[in-house]
Structure 1
């Protein structure tokens, strides 16, 4: 079944497109000086981001037109081996690429792929099938509850070897959110939550760089030229932005003051150039997108499309959790983590996977509409 293009959810589609266009503008603006200095071409990162955007649109269109969710449901058990293989490949000599002390990327000719982006999508597709098949058991049995937690534990262990603590947090939030919506009793979440908090605390203090991040988060100005440098520069960018910003392209913090200005901290540059008005506009865009995806998932669940619904719920949790964490880190309300801002930050892997996720939500909604329309026609 190939959905008609007229069935595209307009609110979701245009909110995603709007965020993506903002990302293209801001990546270009935030990277002008660093690209000119390092590569003698101020538009290098902007052009590459635009190329990634075109690739993402093509991949997203192909997924929407050619990948029925029924096929993904049949292949759900194959998603876990794909996720594990992606995580293993980062440690293969010649394939794994280390950046800033973390081995998170698979180096291919002409491009690099962040393994955790593949893992997020694969895990959602697997867990949605598990929940749809065992929803009744999840509401009553501890055993059914522990199976996805075991899978999450394996992926968490492998992600921490890279290390990629940010991806672990996103996967954890996604898992708990999907299981909660599946009807798992609240008491189990309280017990697991206590264990998770304890483990998170151990993980946080297990590596010196994580301890430094926590200390710099609590008081970034105590070591503003050391561990707190990135956060203090981000906060300065927000302060300079005031109500309406200093104007597009006029950021000072992107002039080699703010590290990762076009990737993890592109929101801080936007805040400086667009001010409070721009930051609220971007937050509204993410809020609209998240609300619409959750709404589509709720509609699918009410109409009996359980696998479709939990795929959509999982995608909503991934996108919203990652956006919330990135925005929080930029504003200094969360400890620093290496997470991109979906649709906005520079990065091919993030853009492609985000496009695939939106395409799957659009496809799920369109399939439900198509099947219901056929049912009414038969009557």
Structure 2
């Protein structure tokens, strides 16, 4: 056990703890006024975020010491459970509806998003399957295609909730795995073309998705309706300056920016901490990206490399989606800022994913230590 602790990736660990501490602080700052008015307790969301963070860290610690190779042996079971949960979400009376979407399951007081579980399970699935198909991955019908059928099935189950943002993040993560799997470029190019065309069709085929796209392009055309969140995000960003209004002094969180502690928390960070806060957030994600690619390159097996790459791409792309949404550069998808935004399911699943990444790094360090001894 002492030897394992010696090989823990302290750089990754300290980065994760720093992001969590910053996130908990900003959740309180962004939510205490709304929490006091709505629940009579200024620390309502802060307390819940703290509980989810502690639970997530406990699971992160456990997963960090479970050999990642073990997940490959049970991947069929994980995928089966994920499909069952995604089906249950769509069953009337079982799925929990919030903000006109049915994305949650409730078990007593516990409410969680199965689509968050699908994020890590599909990365595990793709990494496992394509690591086993190395000898015939250039065979389109038998090597390249079969996992994509499962991905499409999972994607449409999530789209039915509806949750296009999470579906896209899963597709991008799995696409990242394909990119480094050794597949033919002609197959990858064809897949990208089909996926791009499909996403474009889906984006314009439903009125609510079309409204989100048009509101993102010109939020001031409907500032009291579909453009309301983005307009108020602009106001928060526009008044920030270099140093911001000061921690706790946001104006937009006073009922103007709805649920500012969730997917628009970066707007409050900018308003209160200014450019410094933005650079801090971007810097932490860039450090994570660099650390993640280092783990990817040093992973002890092809399965580990594909898995590390998929996890890093997924978390980083989620951060990019969130930053793009609050700045008006991308459509608003409801995607949270990993490790910083308020949210139980997202927090726990992200920390579990990071636990898997930590184990890949730990095994790499163990191999390096043996080679040097």
- Confirm or deny a common fold (TM above 0.5): yes
Contact 1:117/1:349, CA 8 A, preserved across alignment: yes
Match in the other structure for 1:72 = 71
Residue 111 of structure 2 aligns to a residue in which SS? strand
1:207 is displaced (CA, Å) by 1.6
Residue 322 (structure 1) aligned to one of 318, 321, 328: 318
Q: Tell me how far apart the structure 2 counterparts of residues 140 and 14 of structure 1 sit (CA, whole Å).
A: 43
Match in the other structure for 1:17 = 17
Contact 2:217/2:328, CA 8 A, preserved across alignment: no
Q: Which piece of structure 1 moves more, 95-104 or 184-193?
A: 184-193
Relative distance call for 1:242 and 1:157 in structure 2 (3 A) is same
Residue 340 of structure 2 aligns to a residue in which SS? coil
Instruction: Tell me the C-alpha RMSD between the 2 structures.
Output: 1.6
Relative distance call for 1:179 and 1:368 in structure 2 (3 A) is same
1:76 is displaced (CA, Å) by 1.8
Match in the other structure for 1:155 = 154
Identify unmatched segments of 5+ residues in structure 2: none
Residue 327 (structure 2) aligned to one of 327, 331, 337: 331
Q: Tell me how far apart the structure 2 counterparts of residues 77 and 182 of structure 1 sit (CA, whole Å).
A: 20
Q: Tell me how far apart the structure 2 counterparts of residues 120 and 54 of structure 1 sit (CA, whole Å).
A: 21
1:66-119: CA deviations, max 9, x gaps? x22221121122221122012112123443111111111111222211111100
1:303-358: CA deviations, max 9, x gaps? 5x111221111111110111110111011100110111110111111111111111
1:281 is displaced (CA, Å) by 1.0
Matching of residues 15-94 of structure 1 within 5 Å:
15-65=15-65, 67-94=66-93
Q: TM-score, normalised by structure 1?
A: 0.94
1:24 is displaced (CA, Å) by 0.2
Q: Tell me how far apart the structure 1 counterparts of residues 95 and 367 of structure 2 sit (CA, whole Å).
A: 44
Q: Tell me how far apart the structure 2 counterparts of residues 64 and 201 of structure 1 sit (CA, whole Å).
A: 39
1:237 is displaced (CA, Å) by 0.7
Matching of residues 120-269 of structure 1 within 5 Å:
120-269=119-268
Identify unmatched segments of 5+ residues in structure 1: none
Q: TM-score, normalised by structure 2?
A: 0.96
1:20 is displaced (CA, Å) by 1.0
1:372 is displaced (CA, Å) by 4.8
Contact 2:298/2:364, CA 8 A, preserved across alignment: no
Residue 139 of structure 1 aligns to a residue in which SS? coil
Relative distance call for 1:244 and 1:50 in structure 2 (3 A) is same
Match in the other structure for 2:355 = 359
Q: Tell me how far apart the structure 2 counterparts of residues 82 and 119 of structure 1 sit (CA, whole Å).
A: 10
Residue 4 of structure 1 aligns to a residue in which SS? helix
